[in-house]
Amino acid sequence: MKIYRNINSLRKHIHRLKQQNQTIGFVPTMGALHEGHLSLLRKSRRENDVTILSVYVNPTQFGPNEDFTSYPRPEKKDIFLAKKENVDIIFYPSDKTMYSEEHCSFISVAVLSDRLCGRSRPGHFQGVATIVAKLLHLVSPDRLYLGQKDAQQATIVKRMILDLNFDVKIRVCPIIREKDGLALSSRNVYLNEVQRQEAPILYAALKKAKLAVKSGETNATNILEKIREIILTRTSGTVDYVACVDQTTLEPIQKITQSSLIVLAVYFGKTRLIDNIIVHPK
Ligand code: AMP
């Protein structure tokens, strides 16, 4: 496994791979790898000759009062896990490598970025779109692997790829969960014992909603109210949002007549957890 920290050496290697007609799968992450990330790496390994992982805690997607400095960075463990998964290349850039002091170009995917998480995290998706675009230029993969866990992010990146004609196929992979249903996240380590016990209720509420839709409930307001009630009565969390939206436009849906996305964000103390589920009407 090769570890590159600078752009030129990564580019040289990728140039060689392209000359050999090797297909490249790319998994961008912020590290603190868990089974969710590993599932993307495994899928990429199955579908490509070469798998490239990037580990970069991207400062431009964090707000001023967010957890950029405290975000976990267990480099040795990440390298160990990547090796175990037979990753071919890790790209591990520094902030200086990714953003010069003069950097002033950003990509903004309008409208989609202002919805849902974008409301409480202004600028977040501009940071995400910019770093993903930069990484796609550097890696020029055949396939890009993202998790359904970050549903809005996947929607925005898909939009950007279409709008800006990136020559890459996008694969959105299922959410990997703990046994008790909590979606794996690098931020779960921030939860205290009580919060950790309560957090699986988010998925329990989403599953209940899915069942209600499957049984014939089409009124989104009723469903969302029920989810809120479950979270508010059974956890100490505060709801940032719970919404039922179109999977492509992220526009709110009132009557569920086609497969739709129910998304939520809940604060447990300062820790913000997100989760979602796709619901299918009867
Ligand atoms: P992150 O390191 O949190 O930026 O995530 C890197 C990639 O892993 C993103 O595409 C995430 O959607 C994906 N991911 C994170 N958590 C999970 C999970 N529990 N299941 C599947 N994919 C995940």
Residue 65 lies in a domain: yes
Instruction: State if residue 57 touches ligand 1 by the CB under 6 angstroms criterion.
Output: no
Report if residue 178 sits inside a domain.
no
Give the end of a domain, one of 139, 173, 207: 173
> Mean per-residue pLDDT for 199-211?
98
Whole-number pLDDT of residue 251: 98
Domain harbouring 213, CATH code: 3.30.1300.10
Q: Give the total number of structural domains in the chain.
A: 2
Any idea what the CATH number is for the domain that residue 35 is in? Answer: 3.40.50.620
Cα of 163 vs centre of ligand 1, distance in Å, is 23
Confidence label for 146 from pLDDT (cuts 50, 70 and 90): very high
Do 25 and 102 reside in the same domain of the chain?
A: yes
How confident is the model over 113-120, as a mean pLDDT?
A: 98
Residue 134: the pLDDT is: 98
**Residue range of the domain that includes 190:** 186-279
Residue 181 lies in a domain: no
| Residue closest by Cα to atom 12 of ligand 1 | 147
Above pLDDT 70, what percent of the chain?
100
pLDDT tens for 157-178 read 999 999 999 999 999 999 999 9
Q: Best mutation site among 26, 35, 37 for ligand 1, i.e. most ligand atoms within 8 A of its Cβ? A: 37
Same domain, 9 and 99: yes
Mean pLDDT confidence for 195-203: 98
Confidence (pLDDT) at 90 = 98
Q: Is the CB of 146 under 6 A from ligand 1?
A: yes
Instruction: Please tell me the residue having the least CA distance from ligand 1 atom 5.
Output: 29
pLDDT single digits (tens) 211-268: 999 999 999 999 999 999 999 999 999 999 999 999 999 999 999 999 999 999 999 9
Do residues 15 and 121 both lie within one domain? yes
Domain annotation covers residue 70: yes
* 93 and 208 housed in the same domain: no
Contacts 24+ apart (CB under 8 A), 182-187: 183/36, 183/149, 183/273, 183/274, 183/275, 184/34, 184/35, 184/36, 184/149, 185/34, 185/36, 185/149, 185/273, 185/274, 186/30, 186/31, 186/32, 186/34, 186/71, 186/72, 187/67, 187/271, 187/272, 187/273
**pLDDT of res. 167:** 98
Q: How far is the CA of 58 from the centre of ligand 1 (A)?
A: 14
Do 146 and 254 fall within a single domain? no
From 173, 201, 222, the end of a domain falls on 173
Query: How high does pLDDT run on average in the chain?
Result: 98
Task: Please tell me if the CB atom of residue 39 comes closer than 6 angstroms to any atom of ligand 1.
Answer: yes
Identify the pLDDT of residue 135. 98
124 lines ligand 1 (CB under 6 A): no
Looking at the fold, whether 231 and 91 belong to one and the same domain comes out as no
At 52-84, the pLDDT tens digits run: 999 999 999 999 999 999 999 999 999 999 999
| pLDDT at residue 23 in the model | 98
Domain boundary among 125, 144, 173: 173
Question: 243 and 200 share a domain?
Answer: yes
What pLDDT score was predicted for residue 7? Answer: 98
The pTM (predicted TM-score) of the whole model is: 0.98
Residue 218 lies in a domain: yes
- Give the ligand 1 atom nearest the CA of 184: 19
Average pLDDT for residues 119-146, to the nearest whole number?
Answer: 98
Let me know if residue 179 belongs to a domain.
Answer: no
Do 116 and 57 lie in a common domain? yes
**For position 241, what pLDDT does the model report?**
98
**Residue range 25-60, pLDDT digits in tens:** 999 999 999 999 999 999 999 999 999 999 999 999
